[in-house]
Structure 1
Amino acid sequence: MRSLVLVGHGSHLNGESAGAVYRYAELLRGRGLFDEVVEGYWKEEPSLRQVLKTTASTDVTVIPMFISEGYFTETVIPRELGLGHQGPVPPGGVARVLGGRTVRYTLPYGVHPGMSDVILERAREVLPDLNAQDTALVVLGHGTTRNENSNRVIYGNADRLRESGLFAEVHALFLDEEPKVGGWPERVRAPRVVVVPFFASEGWHTLETIPEDMGLTGEVTEFPENPHGPQTVYYARPVGTHPSVADVVLHLAEEARGASERGGDEERGHAQAWAAFLDLARRGTRVGEAVVTPHAGMFELRHALDEGRPTDDLTTVVTPEGLRDLARRDEGGHHRPVHTLRNLPRGWRAVLSEADLPRGVHYLYPAVVEEGYAQHCHTLRATPWPTTARRQTGIYTKVTRATPEQVEDVAKDVCSGCLKTRLWAGEKLTRTFFSGVPGAIPCAEACTYFIAEVREEVSGKRGQASPGHDD
């Protein structure tokens, strides 16, 4: 078996942040080239510390779904996955044997040479008859003076497309460093100009900042009096939302197979956990706030407080993705970065086959089955808070300064609303939902939401703005 893990940043505040990773996972899952495709996040669930536990195979390839190399791809992700690697990732990726799995970690998709083809596809979408006689291409990046990798990928793609001879001119321009996009009229001479944003997703920059800086009014904007004569700008959608990114991901995964062929003994915990859970489900069970009921070869899931409620009163979903989408928001429509918070919305029922049930339960409560079963078998290892705090880097290093009183103050606000028992704080959990106690779910390590809140507490800012921190 082979597993593919797509890693995104995610957000404690914005439910749309994870959308692109989910969409690519669905595309790649549909191609059937991997036995499973799993998503993991820095700021959502399953977390980077949990995601490898949720994979079924002994050969796992991890792709960072980022547009360029940098702090997250070189420091945060390898650290949280426990790869024992820091710094630049070689072109073929790195590989480690962890817990009986060969884990292959690649470069982010945005730096792959195949992204030049994605840029070209975006350009042709907005201007099908582009040509080398009268068409200029602007590859537009964010840019930052703090990380040279941010502009290197833009210049590399611009160079490759310039060498292709398909355009009269090719320019690399940026939002936050020179040469800036606002100066495009002085630099670009061709009468037709295609602008392709090298961004991972649609957002504030692609929808607001870039059009404002360039004076654009829509997909096509006429400029009758520019310094080099009349020009027409064709504004393309960002590269990161193009379906062809899935092909780039597959190329990265294939190239990573050569990083190492070291194997390991198969880790049976995952298979045993889901076999045990399916045995419970076939008899009817409850986990967290959800109840699972077998019926005519299928399984119905609903909120436990909706037991006995007529099905006509409930919204029915029939796919794991449908269950995922409804579980990501509470009844007020607010984003749920931690799925074991006691705010699972009511008013729904999911009807899933036995083949789809594991993925549906995984989306409802990520990593809970794997960690719950390990605790049930007395094999789950907790990570004490001081160890988690010392592992943090960057802006989160200050959590090491949190006093025990500050940590507990945050726990009263954050953890009191969660179903999990804090093993990392020394709390005991002698029985789990595998023993018939629905809310008995272990928490082996402080989550990133808690870490972010501790940072705010140490900074004296907690409660002054929206909860959580998305850096």
Structure 2
Amino acid sequence: MSVADALVDAADADGIDFDGLTVAAGDDGYQFRTPDTDAVLTAADLREHADSPYVTNWYYWEHDIGGHDTPRRAFLRWLEGGDDRPVPERYDALDSGHTRHWGELAVTVTHGDAAGSRRYDVRHADDVDADTDTLATYTDPRDARELVKHDDDDGYRPLSTAPSLPHGWAFTDLDGGALVDTIDYVYPATVANWHREREGSLDVDHWADVADRQTGIYGIVSDLDEDALEWAAEACCVDSQCLKRREWDRDEDDALDVPRGDGEFPCREPCSLFVAAARKFTTLEREDTREYTFELTPAEKEQIEDIIGAVADDRTDDIREADVYEGANRYRTRFLRAKRMDDHGLSGTPTYPEDHDDDGDDGDHH
């Protein structure tokens, strides 16, 4: 159906009231209102207004997209600021392309060939200014499934929302449905959960409930105490590790004192990767503390702290071999190991002294 036919049909039916456009049939003709126009028109004159930005915008959202109250429609309107900006301002932005970010994705909306239509481009945010000719291009959303399984170093990505998307690709010339499908393959369920949160219907499963449901080898995670749970959330559920914004806590009355993150999309429950990590943290927390005596220089103590920080922040690959002033430098670390470690451990102190008798016969701790 053409825009003109759809416009007249809608005016003759229930009328139109959408994004600043109002059209209604009356005894004297059709009342046509926009922020710039207020006129009574004949049917022929009304058809002449079919190329108005307000009309083509209405046609796109009501005929091409439809799906009122659906996550897809809400997400597509959010991308171009459909609920916040007037139509002329949005159309001006679409002329050159309007970009918003979703995790590590940059999504750009432009005008399509048909009146009022939109086309969508999605790529890694770091590649937003790259010439498309320099990127591998795709149009089938299903290609995203394999594309994002590994990072730039071909390492497997067990967590889909980890900030480790590979670079060098783009999905181009997508319609709205294909765009949302692509997003769902890259970041599963994030659009749906974002929409539920906006609508006030996000069902959050807190840690206590998730932990109580675990069985088998994971049943022990319910023993993780509150301090350790906060340490676990600090380790796993921050922006540097996961792009979701944590909405779950220990339970609905006991919030964790850990930043929730700044991501656009919420995390409604502890993920399977967190549960697996929590199992290991639980076993570690069952050990009693011991006192050890080490001989270290002040610089060596600070170096051990630097090494822990570099590993925790995933900076080891960024430390150059020649930068021996960096505590986690490989040569500095090998020098420390050569100086301070032997078969008994750090500074000659075994982890389990009771397994080492006085004659030097080393035992294995099990």
Under TM normalisation by the shorter chain, which class is it? 0.3 to 0.5
Structure with greater contact order relative to length (CA < 8 Å, sep ≥ 6): 1
Length-normalised TM-score, structure 2: 0.47
| TM-score with structure 1 setting the length | 0.37
